[in-house]
Amino acid sequence: MKRIDFTPILTLVTAILIAWPVVGVSDDKKNDKDNKKEKEQYRLTLNVEGVECAKCAQVMTSTLEAAQLKPTGTIKPDSTGPSRILATCPTECDLGAVAAKVSQADTPHREKVPPSLSLILFTKLDEKSASTALATCRKIEGVDGTACQVDSKTGEIQLKISGKEKVTVAQILTAFKDAGIEAHTKSTTGRVETKAGS
């Protein structure tokens, strides 16, 4: 019978045992997890109303950034409708607080078009689920129920954030999930993760 050479295995086990305390055990792992959670972000698609000119865009950009919602590109002015932007925010960020700041943004054209913020979600919709999505949108606290828009063709749900109550992305996604609708932020993975602390 052939003898099994355990040397490589023993070397590996020894290496793990030596490396273990350096890598750190459960406590560090837990801290890593906590750090990661803190640094996790959502990548969001948003409609920003009231960005009529370059100066409006500039004011809006700094308003959003100050509210922890960072546009990933430049905001393009659109005098025919809302400007669509991509932005990141920490997973726990309060969209209500952001929308409140947006509504107070001192854009030069604020008299003509009052600034507002809408979150766009993506899903697959048929006629039935589209009406469920609309009903769900209208019930979410912190969302302006009169401004909900659901497009069954594109699968887009537009939620205007009222700015009057606290509302997080997670709360909104959960409301749809509870109604049987699996809605997503821009990417299907939904999150942009920064590497855990180093």
Closest CB to Zn ion among 5 and 106? 106
Q: Report in angstroms how near the CB of residue 86 gets to Zn ion at its nearest.
A: 21
Region of 2-10, 50-58, 84-92, 120-128 interacting with Zn ion (CB under 5 A): 50-58
Q: Is 52 one of the binding residues for Zn ion (CB under 5 A)?
A: yes
Calpha distance 151→125 (Å, rounded): 8
State how far the alpha carbon of 58 is from the alpha carbons of 22, 55, 63, 64, 181, in Å: 48, 5, 9, 10, 36
Q: Report in angstroms how near the CB of residue 54 gets to Zn ion at its nearest.
A: 7
Q: Is 147 one of the binding residues for Zn ion (CB under 5 A)?
A: no
Q: Which of 36, 40, 53, 68 binds Zn ion (CB under 5 A)?
A: 53
Q: Is 24 one of the binding residues for Zn ion (CB under 5 A)?
A: no
State how far the alpha carbon of 144 is from the alpha carbons of 29, 158, 160, 191, in Å: 41, 10, 5, 25
**In contact, 140 and 171? CB cutoff 8 Å:** yes
Q: Which residue has the tokens 């040397």?
A: 7
Q: Is 150 one of the binding residues for Zn ion (CB under 5 A)?
A: no
State how far the alpha carbon of 113 is from the alpha carbons of 5, 151, 157, 174, in Å: 77, 24, 22, 31
Q: Is 164 one of the binding residues for Zn ion (CB under 5 A)?
A: no
**Interface size with Zn ion, residues (CB under 5 A):** 5
**In contact, 135 and 176? CB cutoff 8 Å:** no
Please list every residue from 107 through 146 that binds Zn ion, using CB under 5 A.
Answer: 108-109
Q: Report in angstroms how near the CB of residue 66 gets to Zn ion at its nearest.
A: 19
Phi/psi of residue 182, nearest 5 degrees? -90, 90
Q: Report in angstroms how near the CB of residue 52 gets to Zn ion at its nearest.
A: 4
**In contact, 88 and 147? CB cutoff 8 Å:** no
Closest CB to Zn ion among 38 and 65? 65
Q: Is 56 one of the binding residues for Zn ion (CB under 5 A)?
A: yes
What's the alpha-carbon Rg for the chain, to the nearest Å?
23
Closest CB to Zn ion among 76 and 191? 76
Residues near Zn ion (CB under 5 A) are 52-53, 56, 108-109
